């Protein structure tokens, strides 16, 4: 068990991604450990979302190797890949809820597809998930277009958690939320990580999230990871972008 705990749940080696002539990721290496919340930061346009999308297989890579749960995603057969996909959940930046399904159907969709369980259990699990993300069951029959931005994020998280994944990717989970809502969301991610033993890969710009929710921080710059470590390591770093990011006006305000 101990050996596995220190094991990397995501192992990215020498990833290169190129769009036309622009090289977005250039020989990037990254490990995400089981059970940690990794905050992933970097300047806008540095390729944070591209890396996330490359890991989950939405963006083709030029070279390199990606292992998730110890499975090499390029070498995996279709059924192995499906097995991996069942064990991760993804929260897209805009929520990506299915607009023609209600909240209930959105959350139940992956469960219904993968597990043969009764409608009663589906409904109960849906209510439990809504409760976990801090929503009341009466939103269940609303359509995504009838929800506020914060509620969309929460429902999308509930859907990402529907199958009790071991690994969750969050793409800017707190962007577009009010500070209190964002704080609640960080708290929620922490609680879920504790209760469900989740590993969380979180792309974020929110300094508060980095301080309150993340165990470790990785910084992307020039297509590589320029630093990875605890928040204290980041503050001690001499890298110009990091100095600006963690010692700027906003950072000082967050640290009080």
Partner 1 sequence: MVSGDPTLERIARGDGLALCAAGSWTARFAPVLERMVADAEKLGGTRPNISIDVSQVSKLDTFGAWLIERLRRSLTHGGIEAQIGGLSANYSSLVDEVRRVKAEPIVETDRLTITGMLEQIGRAVAGIGGTLIGLIDMLGAVLAAAAHVLIRPRHFRLTSTIHHLEQVCWRAVPIVVLITFLIGCIISQQGIFHFRKFGADIFVVDMLGVLVLREIGVLLVAIMVAGRSGSAYTAELGSMKMREEIDALRTMGFDPIEVLILPRMLALVLALPILAFLGAMAALYGGGLVAWLYGGVEPEAFLLRLRDAISIDHFIVGLIKAPVMAAVIGIVACVEGLAVQGSAESLGQHTTSSVVKGIFFVIVMDGVFAIFFASIGM
CA pair distance 250, 207, nearest whole angstrom:
8
Q: Total residues contacting partner 1 (rule CB under 8 A)?
A: 36
Work out whether 238 is an interface residue with partner 1 (CB under 8 A): no
Work out whether 121 is an interface residue with partner 1 (CB under 8 A): yes
Work out whether 195 is an interface residue with partner 1 (CB under 8 A): yes
Give the one residue of 79, 118, 180, 249 binding partner 1; rule: CB under 8 A. 118
CA pair distance 159, 192, nearest whole angstrom:
14
Q: Which stretch binds partner 1 (CB under 8 A): 12-20, 108-116, 179-187, 222-230?
A: 108-116
Work out whether 117 is an interface residue with partner 1 (CB under 8 A): yes
Binding to partner 1 in span 9-68, by CB under 8 A = none
Query: Which residue stretches of the chain are H helix?
Result: 2-5, 48-55, 78-86, 103-114, 119-132, 149-160, 179-196, 207-212, 231-236, 240-247, 249-255
Identify the sign of the CA torsion 27, 172, 53, 50.
negative
Q: Which stretch binds partner 1 (CB under 8 A): 58-66, 189-197, 222-230, 243-251?
A: 189-197
CA pair distance 154, 218, nearest whole angstrom:
25
Binding mask 143-182 for partner 1 (x = CB under 8 A): xxxx--------------x-xx------------------
Residue 10: DSSP 8-state: E
Q: Are 111 and 163 in contact, with CB atoms under 8 Å apart? A: yes
- Please provide the distance, in angstroms rounded to a whole number, between the alpha carbons at the two ends of the chain: 39
Give the one residue of 194, 247, 250, 252 binding partner 1; rule: CB under 8 A. 194
Q: Which is nearer to partner 1, 117 or 255 (CB)?
A: 117
Cα atoms in the 13 Å half-sphere on the side-chain side of 187: 9
Q: Are 244 and 221 in contact, with CB atoms under 8 Å apart? A: no
Q: Which is nearer to partner 1, 132 or 254 (CB)?
A: 132
The CB-of-205 to partner 1 minimum distance in angstroms stands at: 23
CA pair distance 54, 10, nearest whole angstrom:
12
Work out whether 5 is an interface residue with partner 1 (CB under 8 A): no
Q: Which is nearer to partner 1, 49 or 102 (CB)?
A: 102
Work out whether 227 is an interface residue with partner 1 (CB under 8 A): no
Binding-site ranges for partner 1 (CB under 8 A)? 4, 98-100, 104, 111, 114-118, 120-121, 123-125, 127-129, 131-132, 137, 140-141, 143-146, 161, 163-164, 191, 194-197
């Amino acid at each position: 068990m101990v050996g596995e705990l220190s094991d990397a749940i995501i192992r990215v080696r020498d990833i290169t991604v190129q769009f036309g002539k622009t090289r977005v990721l250039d020989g990037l290496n990254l490990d995400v450990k089981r059970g940690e919340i990794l905050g992933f930061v970097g300047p806008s346009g540095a390729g944070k979302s591209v890396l996330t999308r490359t890991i989950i297989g939405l963006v083709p890579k030029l070279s390199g190797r990606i292992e998730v749960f110890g499975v090499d995603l390029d070498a995996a057969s279709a059924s192995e890949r499906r097995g991996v996909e069942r064990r991760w959940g993804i929260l897209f930046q805009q929520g990506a809820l299915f607009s023609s399904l209600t909240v209930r159907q959105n959350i139940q969709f992956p469960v219904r597809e993968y597990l043969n369980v009764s409608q009663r259990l589906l409904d109960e699990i849906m209510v439990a998930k809504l409760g976990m993300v801090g929503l009341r069951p009466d939103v269940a029959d609303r359509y995504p277009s009838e929800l506020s931005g914060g509620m969309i994020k929460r429902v999308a998280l509930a859907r990402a958690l529907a199958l009790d994944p071991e690994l969750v990717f969050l793409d800017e989970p707190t962007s577009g939320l009010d500070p209190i809502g964002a704080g609640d969301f960080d708290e929620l991610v922490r609680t879920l990580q504790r209760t469900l033993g989740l590993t969380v890969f979180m792309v974020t710009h929110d300094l508060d999230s980095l301080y309150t929710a993340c165990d470790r921080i990785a910084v992307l710059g020039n297509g590589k990871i320029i630093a990875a470590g605890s928040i204290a390591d980041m503050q001690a770093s001499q890298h110009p972008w990091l100095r600006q990011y963690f010692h700027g006006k906003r950072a000082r305000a967050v640290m009080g």
